Amino acid sequence: MNQKDLSNYSHIEEGPTELFIDASRGVAGDMLLAALVNLGVPEKIIREPLAAILPPHEIEFVAENRRGIVGLGARVTPLEASPPHRTLPDLLAVLKQPSLPQWVREKAEEVYRRLAKAEAAVHGIAEEKVHFHEVGAIDAQVDILGVLLAIDYLSPKSITCSSLPLGNGQVRAAHGLIPVPAPAVVELLRGARVHAGPAGRELTTPTGAALLMSLATSQEEASSGILMRQGWGYGQRIAPEEDPVNGVRLLQFNSSSTLKDEQSQSDQVIRLETVIDHIPAEDLGGIIDRCLDAGALEAFLSPIHMKKSRPGHQLTVLAKPQDEALLCRSIHRWTGTLGIRVESLRRSLLKRESQSIEAFGEKIQIKLAWYGTELISARPEHDDVARLAATRDWSPEYTRLQLASVIDSQIAENGFIPQTEALGPDLSSKNRRNSGIRHE
């Protein structure tokens, strides 16, 4: 999937987005499709590929105002007679068309196979022999493929959804009246978090359930981060005034976005913390080394007083999110601590790099930091300071003063020019351990 820029928000930096699907009032394929268009997906992203692969049809997105909230409804009209049913092989054959993106083809096959598996379990037949009636109709195919085309356009980093409502009562299907939730919906939602919802009607359709079970990575509350936009998609049925509105709401977040500051950088890190009061002092230093070896950006110990006035230490570790599992394992194994707190943070970073100068017959590495194009820090590497101090038999403090004069002269004469466009620090474990760079 390729990330597309939908934003007209000039003060927000676009980055990987997260999509939250609030389906707590109900969900169907047409509601999801309408909500995605209302969120900002251009209609042509859906219309053009589907016109090339499906029998003639019309798609209309209708503006609706329900309970004072403006959203869209999706209406699909076949322009020629459709067969009474389709099988799984029939639906999969449509996906071979080259006009569909690869991700859409793969995800659509997953959705169709989920539906076939659920229907097969209900009817006690092989998946290939399932006859799709409602799901096989053109409007359902438009809903499924249209939703996937829109998701492919948005390319969210993750998709989460709310708990799903079951409803109750009866609904008329191709086989006559069936109970709500429909047996196929029950099969589709195995393992999902659900709730009852308003009584007397269907709230989650098979198509809606199959799409959410294929797309959502988890069911949790709406994400934290910068809220970018929302989209409302309404079903055709008008809910009674005493019931929640019959609609799906999408919320798009950018958890890595920040208000634009062209002069600095930012990134996402995690902070791991645990308290220790049972380890001998000679072992404490080894904890820091283990954390740095496991990928920590920074690790330090702080003295604290614990319950019963016992002295102890708090271990604090900053790391990249992808290193969480390895670091937790290392900390648990090395310290035996029973619990580790993990918190997500965003850091503001100056643009940094290292350049070398000649001073007193030695090559000295200088750590440089810019705020935009303004050089605000130029410091010699500690290892080079120590080496020069030993060679000249100077104190480290005097050595730094001498190097400061050389650095000031370099800035006055030529300045320091960034060597690369990407001025972010090298965060490899080797450089963290050997260069003395601190990331705060």
Percent of the chain with pLDDT strictly greater than 90 = 50
- Please state, in angstroms and rounded to a whole number, the distance separating the CA atoms of residues 409 and 422: 26
Instruction: Name the band, by pLDDT with cuts 50, 70 and 90, for residue 418.
Output: low
Yes or no: say if 174 and 134 are a contact pair by the CB < 8 Å rule: yes
Band the pLDDT of 424: cuts 50, 70, 90: very low
Average pLDDT over residues 37-61: 95
Instruction: Give yes or no for a contact between 156 and 221, defined as CB atoms under 8 angstroms apart.
Output: no
Output the six-digit token pair for 271.
């902070």
- Does the pLDDT at position 411 exceed 70? yes
* Averaged pLDDT, 366-390: 89
Greatest mean pLDDT among 29-38, 81-90, 302-311 lies in 29-38
Q: Output the pLDDT for position 17.
A: 86
pLDDT attached to residue 224: 67
* Beta-carbon contacts of residue 374 (< 8 Å; ≥ 6 apart): 263
pLDDT of residue 52: 93
Q: State the pLDDT at residue 416.
A: 64
With contact defined as beta carbons under 8 Å apart, do 97 and 53 qualify?
yes
Q: Is the pLDDT of residue 259 over 50?
A: no
What's the whole-number mean pLDDT along residues 380-398?
Answer: 94
**For residues 56-75, average pLDDT:** 93
Share of the chain above pLDDT 70, in %: 85
Of 123, 109, 224, 233, the closest CA to residue 175 belongs to 123
Residue 401 has pLDDT above 90, yes or no: yes
Kindly tell me if the per-residue pLDDT of 154 is higher than 80: yes
Give helix 206-215 / helix 102-123 axis angle, nearest 10°. 130
Q: Is the pLDDT of residue 223 over 70?
A: no
pLDDT interval class at 419 (50, 70, 90):
low
Per-residue pLDDT band at 242 (split at 50, 70, 90) = low
Q: What is the pLDDT of residue 420?
A: 47
The type of residue at 199 is: A
| Cβ–Cβ < 8 Å for 268, 321 | yes
Answer whether residue 375 shows pLDDT above 90.
no
How is domain 351-435 classified at the CATH fold level?
Answer: Ubiquitin-like (UB roll) (3.10.20)
N-to-C CA span, the chain: 34
What band does 231 get if pLDDT is binned at 50, 70 and 90?
very high
pLDDT of residue 373: 76
Mean of pLDDT values over 93-116: 93
What is the average pLDDT across 8-26? 70
Note the pLDDT of residue 174. Answer: 65
Supply φ then ψ for residue 79, to 5 degrees.
-105, 5
- Predicted confidence band of residue 43 (pLDDT cuts 50, 70, 90): very high
> Taking residues 62-91, what's their average pLDDT?
88
Q: Is the pLDDT of residue 33 over 90?
A: yes
Which of these ranges, 90-104, 249-263, 294-308, 372-386, has the smallest mean pLDDT?
A: 249-263
Spatial separation of the C-alpha atoms in residues 318 and 440, rounded to whole Å: 9
Q: Where are the CATH 3.10.20 domain residues in the chain?
A: 351-435
State the span(s) of the chain assigned CATH 3.30.70.1380. Answer: 265-349
Q: Where are the beta strands (DSSP E) in 181-257?
A: 194-195, 218-219, 226-234, 247-254
Helix axes 281-293, 324-335, angle to 10 degrees: 160
User: Between the ranges 174-183, 194-203, 295-304, where is the mean pLDDT highest?
Assistant: 295-304
Question: pLDDT-based confidence at 137, cuts 50/70/90?
Answer: confident
Mean local confidence (pLDDT), 367-383: 87
Q: Over the chain, what is the mean pLDDT?
A: 84
Would you identify the CATH topology of the domain 265-349? Answer: Alpha-Beta Plaits (3.30.70)
DSSP-based three-state secondary structure for 243: coil
